[in-house]
């Protein structure tokens, strides 16, 4: 691995949020040492959380390349318990708007050797949260 990913596995932090539910929404992601924040338009908090995870997995694959991604373990830290529980199969996905996003995440996970999703407290996800709020502040 290069300097971007100094460990054996890639560590990712993601967050998504909206002001209003739904309302103006943004995503934040820390992929290795790279940081991203992006406005995504009107969305619910849960849609923004899924889109942040999708963005981060796509970005990790693009940074690594297809071949290296297939040999790489990924650990994703996120503060959305709902997302982790849905993707681990503990919660059903009742919101029809989340179902295609779930499928997209599921398919993206197949591009890597292993993807571990870990629910972390909000206070341990400050940088991704800051990126969300920064993107919202610039847009609103």
Note the pLDDT of residue 6. Answer: 53
DSSP string, 98-111: THHHHHHHHHHHTT
Give 34-52 pLDDT, tens digit per residue.
999 999 999 999 999 999 9
What's the pLDDT at 140?
76
Tens of pLDDT, residue by residue over 79-93, are: 999 999 999 999 999
- Domains of the chain (ranges, CATH numbers): 9-139 (3.30.420.10)
Torsion of CA 7, 58, 77, 2, to 10 degrees: 10
What per-residue confidence (pLDDT) applies to 132? 98
Distance CA 50, CA 28 (A): 11
Which single residue is written with the structure tokens 């009107």?
42
């Amino acid at each position: 691995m290069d300097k971007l990913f100094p460990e054996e596995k890639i560590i990712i932090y993601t967050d998504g949020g909206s002001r209003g539910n739904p309302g103006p929404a943004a995503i934040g992601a820390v992929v290795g040492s790279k940081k991203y924040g992006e406005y995504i338009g009107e969305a619910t908090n849960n849609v923004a959380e899924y889109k942040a995870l999708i963005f981060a997995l796509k970005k990790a694959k693009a940074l690594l390349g297809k071949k290296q991604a297939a040999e790489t373990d990924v650990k994703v830290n996120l503060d959305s318990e709902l997302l982790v529980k849905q993707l681990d199969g503990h919660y059903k996905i009742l919101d029809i708007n989340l179902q295609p996003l779930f499928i997209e995440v599921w398919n993206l996970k197949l591009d890597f050797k292993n993807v571990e999703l870990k629910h972390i407290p909000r206070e341990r996800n400050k940088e991704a949260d800051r990126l969300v709020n920064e993107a919202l502040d610039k847009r609103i």
